[in-house]
Structure 1
Amino acid sequence: MATLFEPAGLPVQSPSIALLIDADNVSHAKIAPILSELAKYGTANVRRAYGDWTGTSLKGWKGKLHEFAIRPVQQFSYSAGKNASDMALVIDAMELLYTKRPAAFCLVSSDADFTPLVMHLRDAGCAVFGFGERKTPDPFVNACTTFLYLDSLTEAGVEPPAASPETAARNAPARPSAKPRKPAGKLGQDARLVEILCNAVEASMRDDGWAVLSAAGSAAKRVSSIDPRNYGVKNFPALFEATGLFDIVRPAGGQPLISDKQNLDRAKTPQP
C-alpha cells in the first residue's frame, strides 16, 4: 500500500477516494486501469460519472456503469455548445468535501476549467489524482497531486496499438510488449476476471516485478465486488492460480509472491 497519506496523519488502511468522471470529456476505455491505479492508494467508494445520458454520445459509457458500480449523474445541456456537466461535478465535489470528507479526490477529465477546483481541494488537505488525455492543459496537470495521461494506461492482457514515431518518442510504454496470452484454464478465458486480476497484480507490484499475493488480492477486492467463491475456489490465491496466468512463489518463512507471466521486466526470482 502506498504511503501517500501518512504525512497528513490520514489512515493508511484503505483511505476513501471520491472518483468523479467528466464522461462528456473522456473515453470509457480506460476506467478499469484507472480504478486499479487508484487501488494503490485506497478505495474509490464514491464513483460518479457526469453527462447527458439521454443522448447517444455516452453509449460506450453505459456498459461500464454497471460493470464498475459507477453512478451516472444526469445533467442536461441548458445551452447549445455549453457543457453543464462541469458545474454539476464541481458542486458535488464541494458537497463531498464538507460532508463525506474523503481522503482524496480523483478527477477524470482533460478540461482545464477544473484547475480552481483542484487547488481548492488541495488547500483543504486532500490529495487529487488526475487522469486525462495528452491535450490536457498544463495548469490542470500541474495543480494535481499526481496526473497520469490516459494513453499511459494499458488494459490488462491487451497490447497498445502501434504508435507513430513521434508519439512513440514522446510516450514511454506503460508495460513491455508481450505475446498474446494463452490461458491454461477456463477461468483464464474470462476477460473481465483476467483484467481485474492482472491490474491488481500490477498495482501491487514491487520494483522486482513481483507482488505480495495478499496485497494483490486486496487490490482486486478494492476495485471490484469480486468473490473467489463465485468462481468455484475458496480464496484469492486459489483464484490467481486457477487462471494459469501467474507465477506464484511460496518462500520458506515468507509471504507468497505473485507475478504476471507476461511481465518481461520481472526478475526471474523474487528479491527477498
Structure 2
Amino acid sequence: MVNSTNPNFERQVAVLIDFENVGLSSIQWLFDKISDIGRITIKRAYADWSTARSTREQVLQLGIEPVHLFHMASSGKNSSDIKLVIDSIDLLYQSPIDTFVIVSSDSDFVPLVSKLRSGGKTVIGAGRKLTASRALVISCDRYFYLDESTTQRNNITDLQQTRSSELLIRSVRSAMDEEGRVVGSKLRQTLQRLDPSFDFRTLGHATFTRYLESSPDVKISRPKGPGDIVVELLEYTNSINIKDTSSGVSTTEVDGEIWANIDVAWSKRASRSRSGNSMPGPSAAIIAAKVLGVSKLSSSKYKTLQKLLDSSEILSKSWTREGNSIIKV
C-alpha cells in the first residue's frame, strides 16, 4: 500500500470518460481542475469510434486513449459503459490508482462509485449539469459540472443563490461548536460533503473567504495573528442579541440593530443582482427571517414584507416594494 504520509507521495489518478454521454468539450478544463490532486496516469474515453471519427484527432491531442467498442444492436446495455465498469474494477484491484475520475452524467454508474469508495478510493465525478443524475452527484466525493467552464457571473440565477444560501446554513449548523462557531477549513469540508458539486468559483468568487464575505447569512471573524477564519450564522448571533434584553439592553436598541442587520444583508444580496439594487421579494423575506431568527417571515410578528417595512424607519427609508421585488431607494 502506498504511504500517503511520505513527503514524496503523489496520488495516482485515472480519468475514465463516457464519451457518448458527455463528449469532449471542457475536458481540458477538467484536467486543469484536477491537476493539483495528483498525477493523471490513465486517460481513457469509451465509445464506438467508428461513428465518432471527427473527434478522434482531438482525443489524441488531449493524450486520451480511445477505447473502441462496436454498438451491438441486439444488446439492451451500452457496451462502452460495461467496458468502463470492467476497467475500473480491474484498476481497483490490480493498479496503484487511488483516485478515479468518472466522467459521466449517468446514474447507472452509482453502484460503481459505491464499490470504488468502499475499496478506499477517492471518486470524483464530472458531467453536464442539465443531465447529471443527482444520485450520481451525491455518491461521489466531488462532482464537477463541465458546463461551469463557460458559466459567467452574470448568469447566476436567483435559484442558484438561494440553494447556495440554504447549503451554507445547513453546513454551518452541522459543523458549528457549542458556541455556534466553525473554522473556515472545516466548514469548506462540510459543504463539499453535503453537496459534492459545491464550488464557490461557479458563484463568481475567487476564494472561499470572499464567498463567505458576500453571504448575508454568516458573520466572519479573523484572528489577530496567523490562523483560520471563524464563521458564525447571523441568525445565531442575532438570537443571542435578542436574549440580551433580559440583562438590561433596551428593546429599542435591539430592534435598531436588527433593522441595521437586515439592511446590510439586503444590500449585499441586491448588489449581486443584474441591476445592482434589487432582489425578488421571496429572497428578501428569507433573509429577513434568518436575521429575525425564525424559520419564515410569516412566523414572526411582522408576517409580511410590507408590515416589516412599515415597522422600521431604517428599512422604509432605504427600501421600497415594486411588484414582487424589493428595490433599494
User: Are residue 28 (structure 1) and residue 24 (structure 2) matched?
Assistant: yes
Paired positions, count: 171
Contact 1:13 1:42 in 2 (8 A): no
RMSD: 3.3
User: What per-residue deviation string (whole Å, max 9, x for no partner) do you get for residues 8-63 of structure 1?
Assistant: 7587633110110000000311111111111121011101000000014x634x23
Residue 139 (structure 1) shift: 1.4
Q: Distance in 2 between matches of 1:65 and 1:88?
A: 18
Equivalent residue for 2:92, pick from 97, 101, 104: 97
Which residue identity does 2:25 align to in structure 1? A
Partner of residue 194, structure 1 = none
Which residue identity does 1:127 align to in structure 2? T
User: What per-residue deviation string (whole Å, max 9, x for no partner) do you get for residues 158-177 of structure 1?
Assistant: x7597485787679763859
Q: Distance in 2 between matches of 1:130 and 1:10?
A: 27
Partner of residue 126, structure 2 = 131
Change (3 A) 1:175 1:36: farther
Contact 1:16 1:45 in 2 (8 A): yes
User: Are residue 64 (structure 1) and residue 58 (structure 2) matched?
Assistant: yes
Partner of residue 47, structure 1 = 43
Change (3 A) 1:98 1:166: same
Matching of residues 248-263 of structure 1 within 5 Å: none
**Identity across aligned pairs (percent)?**
31
- Which has more helix, going by share of residues? 2
User: Are residue 111 (structure 1) and residue 106 (structure 2) matched?
Assistant: yes
> What TM-score, normalized by structure 1, do the two folds share?
0.54
Q: Distance in 1 between matches of 2:209 and 2:7?
A: 24
Change (3 A) 1:166 1:75: farther
Change (3 A) 1:133 1:46: same
Matching of residues 213-224 of structure 1 within 5 Å: none
Q: Distance in 1 between matches of 2:128 and 2:159?
A: 13
> What TM-score, normalized by structure 2, do the two folds share?
0.45
Change (3 A) 1:66 1:138: same
Change (3 A) 1:76 1:166: farther
Unaligned runs of 5+ in 1: 178-201, 209-272
Partner of residue 261, structure 2 = none
Moved over 4 A (4+): 8-12, 159-173, 205-208
